[in-house]
Amino acid sequence: MSINCIRTLLENAVETHSDKTAIVYNDKSITYKELFAKVNQVAFYLKELDLPKDSRIGIYSSKSIEQVIAILAILSTDYILVPLTKLLKPEQVEYIINDCGIQCIITDKQQLESIEEINFSGKVISYQTTDNNMASFEEIFKYYNKPYHCNINSYSSAVITYSFGMSGRPKGIVISHRNLIDSARVVSQYLALEQDDVISGTLIFNLDYGLNQIFCTLYKKATLALHLFILPDDFFNHVINDKVTVLPLMPVNISQMFEDSGQRIPSAALFSHVKTITSSGGNVTEKMINDCKNTFSEAKFYSMHGLTEAFRSTYLDPSQVQIRPDSIGKPIADVELYIINEDGKECAVREVGEMIHRGGYIYKGFWNAPNQNALRFKSIDILKDVIKLEGQLTDEIVVATGDYVYKDEEGYFYFVSRHDDMIKTRGFRVSPYEVESVVAKNISQIDQCAVFGIDNELIEEEIIMVYSAASEISEEEIIFELKKHLASYMIPSRVIYKKSLPLVQTDKNKIDKDELKAELARV
């Protein structure tokens, strides 16, 4: 058995902390001993399916203790886990099934109807017993009691995660067992996690940030408190009642917590046990940070920046969050970051270029996507004009992130834009993020804002700004404010008001700019 796999963490936890609570969810809980036994039962059943090594098994269900058992059971076999968030529509699930060849799906009663709509021909396992002779966890827990042993290679593929973005078909990213253990190790280190911690399981488990909460819990032999975020009041009760100490969030969660100005937020004294808040998966605003600081007054706030192709690149130390809230921080342990221009030369201080990720946490690559892999996973030779390469050792792989950033005089990184988002207008490159940030900081009446380019043969692209607010603001007033902070070529040529902006279906933190462009085309 490799020492670099999640299965080893589970075995170590049950050996030293068997009676400790591993997971809580509402009024239910399970100890490490009970968790280990149930994981073994499900893993034993999965192996009896006798699927080929590296077969893909999907989990398509709501959050529950059974969902965590299913995740750990698959990771205790030589199969590959494919998390499928319940936010996906049947046609999206069908796309993923076909793309990576899923042969078995673990689900709950709520999602069975969607699976039947897909007409999936593989094996289906339900958490609950059903009327159609389908295998269930309830039956597995009753009848499968034989000892289970496994031997896992740390460099084998463990997980394929899919993220539906704003355009095109998604590609799955392949993550090894070693990647999972490394990510748990580094996060536990820089967050200073302890075995007495209660880690909130608010994030969904379809991507690495959410899954990492499970693995950090195992790594430190802590407790994971599951929660399904629906209403802010329920969320605050979760934090108080479960005595959460570590609160991993996405920016959209923070917005949801504080979006109702008339809402009564519990006293900060009730949250004194919260010591750590983390945020990743989107841009954190100064207001978000201040709202968290006011409510969770004892907590350190960690802003983090990750990649699709690697677990994480940077984090911003809590001591700097209010000093430089726009920064994505500095590299995490075992990572080197370089910023290069189009000629492959290292950028000067405050010069914008592409960020190159070297070192730890790089994933195996995209599933069946050679063009995507060629675009992102590069030979270290790409840095030949930046670092000294000796001995002709150029087999090392780095990630050309597609993130355009700059670095200040003290070595802090600042995100500017994704390569694909850059607007080319009048011979200049304009970052939508830079314009959107000015709006967020200076026009408080605006709730949400999307900036993008549309083709204009005279100037390449013209800049469009679409916003939502409680009521429409005059375009002249908005342009007047933007001109105080932006160069003339960065000013939108059109400003459009909408009561609400469309969001990407599976990521409510992202505005669906493709839909906005399509709406403009229909006008």
Sign of CA dihedral 374, 350, 323, 232: negative
134 and 31, same structural domain? Answer: yes
Q: In the chain, pLDDT over 70 holds for what percent of residues?
A: 97
* Cβ atoms of residues 37 and 7 within 8 Å: no
Beta carbons within 8 Å of 488's beta carbon, 6+ residues apart:
none
Residue 236's nearest CA partner among 159, 306, 291, 184 is 291
Sign of CA dihedral 363, 369, 370, 374: negative
Q: Is residue 310 part of a domain?
A: no
Q: Is residue 408 part of a domain?
A: yes
Q: How confident is the model at residue 437 (pLDDT cuts 50, 70, 90)?
A: confident
Domain end call among 207, 227, 247 = 227
* Cβ atoms of residues 107 and 62 within 8 Å: no
The count of structural domains within the chain is 4
- Give me the residue label for tokens 């969902």: 67
DSSP class of 507: E
Phi-psi bin for 401: left (phi > 0), alpha (psi -120 to 50), beta?
alpha
Q: Extract the tokens encoding 52.
A: 């080929």
DSSP class of 347: P
Q: What is the mean pLDDT of residues 370-394?
A: 92
Amino acid present at 243: K
**Is pLDDT at 509 greater than 90 in this prediction?**
no
Measured from the Cβ of residue 231, the count of other Cβ atoms closer than 10 Å reads 11
pLDDT in the model for residue 510: 79
Q: Whole domain around residue 163: which residue ranges?
A: 6-227
Q: Is residue 444 part of a domain?
A: yes
- Give me the residue label for tokens 């709202």: 291
pLDDT tens-digit map of 132-163: 789 999 999 999 988 999 999 999 999 999 97
pLDDT in the model for residue 166: 42
pLDDT tens-digit map of 6-31: 999 999 999 999 999 999 999 999 99
The distance in angstroms from the start CA to the end CA of the chain is 61
Give me the chain's average pLDDT, please: 92
242 and 384, same structural domain? Answer: no
pLDDT in the model for residue 507: 61
Residue 312's nearest CA partner among 363, 365, 352, 275 is 363
- Give me the residue label for tokens 């994704």: 418
109 and 192, same structural domain? Answer: yes
Question: What CATH number corresponds to the domain at position 327?
Answer: 2.30.38.10
116 and 98, same structural domain? Answer: yes
Domain end call among 418, 439, 472 = 418
354 and 470, same structural domain? Answer: no
Q: Extract the tokens encoding 236.
A: 């605050």
Residue 288 backbone dihedrals phi, psi, to 5 degrees? -60, -45
- Give me the residue label for tokens 């190159």: 356
Q: Is residue 99 part of a domain?
A: yes
* Cβ atoms of residues 57 and 74 within 8 Å: yes
SS3 at position 74: helix
Domain end call among 370, 385, 418 = 418
Q: Is residue 316 part of a domain?
A: no
Q: How confident is the model at residue 502 (pLDDT cuts 50, 70, 90)?
A: very high
pLDDT in the model for residue 505: 67
Task: Give the Cα separation of 224 and 227 in Å (integer).
Answer: 10
185 and 139, same structural domain? Answer: yes
Largest pairwise CA distance in the chain: 73
283 and 336, same structural domain? Answer: no
DSSP 11-51: HHHHHH-TTSEEEEETTEEEEHHHHHHHHHHHHHHHHHT-P
Q: Among 75-89, 360-374, 426-440, 465-479, where is mean pLDDT lowest?
A: 426-440
Q: How far is CA 503 from the centre of its chain?
A: 16
DSSP 415-462: EEEEGGG-EEETTEEE-HHHHHHHHHHH-TTEEEEEEEEEEETTTEEE
183 and 207, same structural domain? Answer: yes
* CB burial string 471-480: b at 16+ within 10 A, e below: eebeeeebee
Beta bridge mates, 397: 379
Task: Give the Cα separation of 177 and 220 in Å (integer).
Answer: 17
Residue 121's nearest CA partner among 98, 141, 144, 142 is 98
**Is pLDDT at 168 greater than 70 in this prediction?**
no
Q: Extract the tokens encoding 425.
A: 């207008």
351 and 257, same structural domain? Answer: no
Q: Among 254-263, 368-377, 378-387, where is mean pLDDT lowest?
A: 254-263
**Is pLDDT at 499 greater than 80 in this prediction?**
yes
Q: Is residue 357 part of a domain?
A: yes
pLDDT tens-digit map of 297-324: 999 999 999 899 999 999 999 999 999 9
409 and 391, same structural domain? Answer: yes
The half-sphere exposure of 92 on its side-chain side, counting CA atoms within 13 A, is 19
212 and 272, same structural domain? Answer: no
19 and 49, same structural domain? Answer: yes
